[in-house]
Amino acid sequence: MEFCPTCGMLLQIEPPNNGRSMRFYCPTCPYVCPISGKIVKKERLVKREMEPIFSGDKAMEFAPKTQATCPRCHHGEAYFRQMQIRSADEPMTTFYTCCNNKCKHDWRED
């Protein structure tokens, strides 16, 4: 991708026409740049560090805890996470997992 040095717009490619060679042109200003040879640009991509994903059996053990009563065993503490599963104008959904090792019941609160 090439950008116009005058206005910063993305340059368009104009195919060869009536003996004129291929060239870049700006759609908003009169800037024109002839293409004389092959254009090659290499750029190294930098890997970003990924955030941990909640998946697997022990994923919720790394989630924060809160005071919530399990509907199955009535334990008073649960792991939780929040996700946007509906449209953006709806509130987030909270998912809970009971901290009681014997129960591990999952439920959600809309």
- What is the average pLDDT across 39-67? 75
φ, ψ dihedrals at 11, nearest 5°? -75, 145
List residues forming the annotated binding site for Zn(2+).
Answer: 4, 7, 26, 29, 70, 73, 98, 103
Q: What is the pLDDT of residue 75?
A: 92
Residues annotated within a binding site? 4, 7, 26, 29, 70, 73, 98, 103
**Domain match, 105 and 64 both:** yes
DSSP label of 59: G
On whether residue 51 sits in a domain, the answer given is no
Per-residue pLDDT of 56-110, as tens digits, reads 666 666 778 899 999 999 999 998 888 888 888 888 899 898 888 888 899 988 6
Query: Which CATH number does the domain housing residue 9 bear?
Result: 2.20.25
CA distance 75 to 9: 60
Q: Domain residues for 18?
A: 1-39
Greater confidence, 54 or 30? 30
Number of domains in the chain: 2
- State the average pLDDT for the chain: 84
Q: Is residue 19 part of a domain?
A: yes
